[in-house]
Amino acid sequence: MSKIPARNEIDPKYTWNAESVFASPEAWSAEAEKIVADIPSVKAFQGKLASNAASLADAMEAVEKIIQRVEHLNMYAGFSYSVDTADQKAAAMADKAGGIHGQVIAAVSFVQPEMLEIGEQTLRQWLRDETRLTEYEHYVNNLFRNQAHVRSTEVEEILGMLADPFDGSSSTASMLTNADFHFPPAIDSHGKEHDLTQGTFYKIRANSDRVARQNTWNNYLDTYLAHKNTLATNLATSIKQNVFLMRARKHKSTLAASLFENDIKVEVFHNLIDVFKKNLPVWQRYFDIRRKALGVDELYPYDLWAPLTSSNPKLSYQQAVDWICDGLSPMGEDYVNTVRKGALEDRWVDVYPNQGKRNGAFSWGAPGTHPFIMMSFNDDMTGLSTLAHELGHSMHSYLAWQNQPLVYGEYSLFVAEVASNFHQALVRGYLLQNNPDKDLQIAIIEEAMSNFLRYFFIMPTLARFELETHERAEKGEPLTADTMMTLMADLFSEGYGETVKIDRERVGIIWATFGHLFSDYYVYQYATGISGAHALSRRVLDGVPNAVDDYTKFLKAGGSMYPLDALKMAGVDLASPSPVEETFAVMSDYIDRLEKLTA
């Protein structure tokens, strides 16, 4: 891992199946031109939806078709850019796709205002009379629930046109940090240099060499600090855009506006934060156990991912897929075979790191494509866990697309992290039960705690940061690099307590390393998601009757139900703080086991 290959040096069998979406970039360009040319034919339905049920059904078919086409266009360009941010052609394609996406959204923005003008009683009669409209019952229910926040046709068109320019802050931050940032190499205790990129940061941060970890941490964050004002301005602009949209749609706060879309009460957010704050001593106990296990007098943030055993298993990609499939066996043969085929034959996964590949991992696709995964697989338990996680997202998408019409093919962010963490919980349960080796047990629990650290410590801390910065913007208070960094350092200091020593400047800039903050109130859903996942995986592992069927129905539901209702159908109530508290109990058990194993 000391030298990262160029993109063209990666074996094609480990790259995503781009040609299954478009045969070539030229085919993509041709479709882009066709979509732009077809926009007027969709726009022609404007003003005619109230004519009769058949006209409305014709319009909805045309709208869905062009939206699906532009989603394919956008995904292909965005994925191409993500796997090689230095590819200027891919960057241009992504920019062009964003512009066309904005044009399409603006062109179809007349639909909801006109449907509201038709009236609820008439629409419900049309749902009964026209079979092509029957599937829109939940859509219509939600439309009239949103009625107070849907503006006139003219205003909706303007808000639709804002989609592309409002994405500028996120795009600028991504281009700056993924394409333009060049990090100094990390130097280990032997003087050896390791290429530091967005794709290798996590690998080197988990190195057993403490000098390498410290170098990686400092060089990575110092690069962000050198650009703190630009990064802060970008994020502040995004937050102000959220405030503008909140006011344009007449919501009381940005939090309420964000949660309203999925019919989630603000209490769900506050329940999570309250339970998290109450359980900070659990985290601080873990940090102290980790300090003792590492044999250091003081623990620093860059020690939180250090291996606690020198015998961490090395895994090939094939072995990782095999273990994941073994862990998912309770889900049934069809489910497991789909996962295996996607990972090994249909090339759902862009597997290995390369120069220019953006950091992190994600699953992305659209109805009519595979649910593709971008990641940088490292040959360890973290690589296995990340793959299991993203395959959870992909199976959620796959089953939703197989069972729902296009209008419900996209599930909400609130439920997204349930499916991904559910996979990880099942795989961990299998590995812990079937591998008694002490070092492997430690490695499995380490990986679990690393995941909890991200989802149940860092993400709730970022959620507190996000709420505070939005509330300041709503009051007209300034958001600068220094105020953001002070807030971030204060929140992490509270979480770490006396157990972790911090450099306030470097910890203070951590918000800039998370592009998630450009998705309004996304990060808290990682913590609610992992809570739902552990509750549902426990039902499956405990053999609760119908647990697998209930969970599969949840995946197949896609966006056809409000997320809290879909999760209740699966067997968990996330409107209550109980699942969050229960998941802290699961984490505490891991900590107890780790303390005994490392004593």
Distance CA(500)–CA(291), nearest Å, equals 9
The answer to whether 518 and 235 are in contact (CB under 8 A) is: yes
Torsion angles phi and psi, residue 107, rounded to 5: -65, -35
Phi/psi at 194 (nearest 5 deg)? Answer: -125, 125
Distance CA 72, CA 74 (A): 6
Structural tokens at position 326? 């073994």
Amino acid at 11: D
CB 64 within 8 A of CB 3: no
In angstroms, the CA 154 to CA 161 distance is 11
Q: Is 267 a catalytic residue?
A: no
Residue 494 backbone zone (phi > 0: left; psi -120 to 50: alpha; other: beta): alpha
CA atoms of 282 and 351, how far apart (whole Å)? 35
Amino acid of residue 187: I
Query: DSSP letters along 147-206, please?
Result: GGG---HHHHHHHHHTHHHHTHHHHHHHIIIIII--PPPEE-TTS-EE---TTTHHHHHT
Give the chain's end-to-end CA distance (angstroms, integer): 31
Q: List, in sequence order, every residue forming a beta bridge with 372; answer none if it has no partner.
A: 364
C-alpha pair distances (Å), 206 with each of 209, 227, 229, 396, 529: 9, 25, 29, 30, 25
The length of the chain, given as a count of residues? 599
Q: Distance between CA atoms of 125 and 129, rounded to whole angstroms?
A: 6
Q: Catalytic one among 71, 390, 466, 474?
A: 390
**Who contacts 467 (Cβ-Cβ below 8 Å, separation ≥6)?**
255, 269, 273
Do residues 411 and 567 make contact, with C-beta atoms less than 8 angstroms apart? no
In 3D, which of 70, 55, 166 has the Cα closest to residue 111? Answer: 55
**Do residues 527 and 580 touch, judged by C-beta distance below 8 A?**
yes
Report the amino acid identity of residue 23. Answer: A
- Round to whole Å and give the CA distance between 489 and 162: 33
Task: List phi, psi (to 5°) of 591.
Answer: -65, -40
CB atoms within 10 A of CB 76: 27
Strands 186-187 and 372-374 come out as unpaired
Q: Which residues are catalytic?
A: 390
